[in-house]
Amino acid sequence: MGIQHLRRSPISATVDFDAHGVQHGFLRLPYSRDDSAWGSVMIPVTVVRNGEGPTALLTGGNHGDEYEGPAALFDLARRLVADEVRGRVIIVPAMNYPAFLAGTRTSPIDRGNMNRSFPGRPDGTVTEKIADYFQRVLLPLADVVLDFHSGGKTLDFLPFCAAHVLADQAQEAKAFEYVSAFGAPYSMKMLEIDAVGMYDTAAEEMGKVFITTELGGGGTATARSIGIAKAGAANVLKAAGILKGSAAPAETIWLDMPNGDCFAFAEDGGLIEPMVDLGDQVEAGDVVARIYPVGRTGAAPSEICAKMSGILCARHFPGLVKAGDCVAVIAVVVG
């Protein structure tokens, strides 16, 4: 353990997480800069507490260009009243607030990708300081953590709620109970390309019940995708016993990402022609996209083939692609 673990977080909350009732305030992070010598980053937060009970931590805007979470959570924060709650709900609609304000995946201040910055540092960059606050202050308060994601500007997903395969089978089973309760159109047993530094991993290593989503993408959200996020958040709070009533999940199709073969990456840059759309069935070897070199006419496109059979659950969103971009993700329907 380095000295940074002994240092207090520079973030101070203007809300009292132990107080009863509804509080709307900020996580205030001092940020001295050219246009504000003693300025701060003001991250909106809502706490609703009523009596004793479990704590749910609901977050969006971990990546700044993903909008279902912020839209559902700004709405929930405005509507939730203490009488409806048993226990506590902590809502942070836009975790990486500078990135959210800029409409970018990473922070414009330090290029920090929040979901690769955990456990963070109290003496690090702005993004690392926010991660550290979640790591040492907010996550320890939580029993259930729901972190909303979507594809952002560069990916588009089938709408799913997800949890990870975990070493602790009881913890994993609990997480998948909550995925089921969320009730997205699809439910995913999710494999990460690179789990190091993720908020997910930080919460899971603390033994928390952690679920996440991918609800769309392209740097926008739709009435349907925001509706899925709103219903899912309410269902999760009901499943936790924080809101009254039982979760009423919609019909879901269970998907699995069994191994790294589910990902297809571009080896050339160029113009992408999708050959299948989200939700379409593909067989191993099928061409899922073509990439045309754009320097001249007459050249053959390269072909991106599925390495396994399943359905297309995610795809590259912009029309131009670069070598190394994730072009397609295949998932297996398991139920």
Chain contacts with Zn ion (rule: CB under 5 A): 63, 66, 149
Q: Which one, 29 or 162, has the nearer CB to Zn ion?
A: 162
Q: Name which of 66 and 256 has its Cβ closer to Zn ion.
A: 66
Closest to Zn ion by CB, 69 vs 122, is 69
| DSSP 8-state class, residue 172 | H
The minimum distance between CB 100 and Zn ion, in angstroms, equals 11
Token pair 């702005």 is found at 126
* Single-letter code of the amino acid located at 104: T
Residue 49 near residue 87 (C-beta atoms within 8 A): yes
Structure-token pair, residue 43 = 């991250």
- Alpha-carbon distance of 137 to 127, in angstroms, equals 15
> 251: which DSSP letter?
P
CB of 249 to Zn ion, least distance (A): 23
Cβ count within 10 A of residue 112: 23
Per DSSP, 65 falls in state T
Cβ at position 62, least distance to Zn ion in Å? 6
Contacts of 310 (CB under 8 A, 6+ apart): 255, 262, 281, 282, 330, 331, 332, 333
Nearest residue (CB) to Zn ion, 122 versus 159: 159
Q: How far is the CB of 197 from Zn ion (least distance, A)?
A: 13
Task: Report which secondary-structure segment, H or E, holds 252.
Answer: none
| Closest distance of CB 149 from Zn ion, Å | 3
Considering beta carbons, is residue 121 or 149 the nearer one to Zn ion?
149
Could you tell me how many residues make up the chain? Answer: 335
The token pair that represents 202 in the structure block: 């930080």
Q: Considering beta carbons, is residue 69 or 87 the nearer one to Zn ion?
A: 69
Smallest gap from Cβ 159 to Zn ion, in A, equals: 14
